[in-house]
């Protein structure tokens, strides 16, 4: 589903629509305060990951061509991580529990779905099939 890219906008439109429907249904059942806190901690957590990824990518693959530059690396990403974490820690503890539950569910879906459907899994299956065929001949 995620590979369905819109021809004009070049975005994963089916995954975006599915996420929008899921969030709309969820918003009908959760109090606005809980939903707002979930959105806040989720967005801040995503920013922490992006800032950390900038640091990791600059270290592990410094020669990769990039469409844009991050100024004052590593100061800006480190400050981004610190400020986002500061805001995250200002949220109630219940919100952290919800974040952890969502992360566990998300990892379960990600690894459960990708285990058989990933490119690596398909290549591994093709190798096993080729070895089995070669062993029979």
13 contacts 4 by C-beta, under 8 angstroms: yes
Mean pLDDT, consecutive 10-residue segments, the chain of 137 residues?
77 89 90 91 97 94 86 95 98 96 93 84 86 80
Nearest Cα to Cα of residue 19 among 30, 9, 27: 27
- ω before 74 within 30° of 0 (cis)? yes
pLDDT at 119: 85
**How many other CB atoms sit within 10 Å of the CB of residue 48?**
19
pLDDT at 3: 67
73 contacts 54 by C-beta, under 8 angstroms: yes
67 contacts 57 by C-beta, under 8 angstroms: no
pLDDT at 69: 82
pTM: 0.74
pLDDT, tens digit, 9 for 90 and up, residues 68-87: 888 899 999 999 999 999 99
pLDDT at 103: 95
Alpha helices in the chain (DSSP H): 13-29, 32-60, 75-89, 93-117, 119-136
pLDDT at 82: 98
Distance CA 58, CA 74 (A): 9
Task: Give the gyration radius of the chain's Cα atoms.
Answer: 20
pLDDT at 2: 47
């Amino acid at each position: 589903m995620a590979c369905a890219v819109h021809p004009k906008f070049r975005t994963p439109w089916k995954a975006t629509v599915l996420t929008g429907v899921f969030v709309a249904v969820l918003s009908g059942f959760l109090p606005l305060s809980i939903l707002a806190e979930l959105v806040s901690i989720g967005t801040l957590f995503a920013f922490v990951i992006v800032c950390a990824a900038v640091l990791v990518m600059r270290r592990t693959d410094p020669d990769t061509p990039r469409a844009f530059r991050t100024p004052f690396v590593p100061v800006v990403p480190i400050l981004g991580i610190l400020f986002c974490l500061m805001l995250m820690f200002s949220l109630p503890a219940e919100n952290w529990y919800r974040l952890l539950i969502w992360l566990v569910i998300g990892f379960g879906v990600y690894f459960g779905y990708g285990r058989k459907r990933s490119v690596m899994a398909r290549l591994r299956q093709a190798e096993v099939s080729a070895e089995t065929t070669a062993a029979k001949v």
